[in-house]
Structure 1
């Protein structure tokens, strides 16, 4: 275990995207029992998700979860307290298709 990253693993995930007059949002669902904490990172693999206006889409992908180590977790809590920053990070990587 390092001070920055305690664990890194791949897991399935589900992405739900809604793009209509009522809402524009994307929601990432992880398997039951898997929760994110301060400083954790998720990289979703595959091509970018494009949803035309007036539609919604739900797709399954693979994600790499990087659990924060004690130093990154403490730093994230400290900076989030002062800067109102995000407590975790989600990004998309076109490198691997699921």
Structure 2
């Protein structure tokens, strides 16, 4: 176990995307037995999803889950406690984690 990453594994996931007048969202659902905590990372694999206005889409994909090690988890909690992080980055990468 390293200080930054405790475990890395692949799993199935379900993506729900909606682009309508009421909502613009993309949600990723992992299997129930996978608990995600502070500092953990989830990368969904596959081509980017394009949903035309007024529609929604549900897809099954594969995702790589990276469970945070003690150092990354502590840093994430520290920055959240002091609200030092006001910028949240959301990205979609069709490749795999390095």
Tell me, yes or no, whether TM beats 0.5. Answer: yes
Task: Report the CA distance between 1:84 and its aligned residue.
Answer: 5.9
Q: Name stretches of at least 5 consecutive residues in structure 1 with no aligned partner.
A: none
Runs ≥4 residues deviating over 6 A:
none
Normalising by structure 2, what TM-score?
0.88
TM-aligned CA deviation for residue 45 of structure 1: 0.5
Superposition CA RMSD, Å? 2.0
TM-score by length of 1: 0.88
Higher strand share: 1
The 2-side partners of 1:84 and 1:17 are apart by 30
Aligned residues: 95
Counterparts of 1:47 and 1:84 in 2: how far apart (Å)?
A: 33
Show structure 2 runs of 5+ residues with no match: none
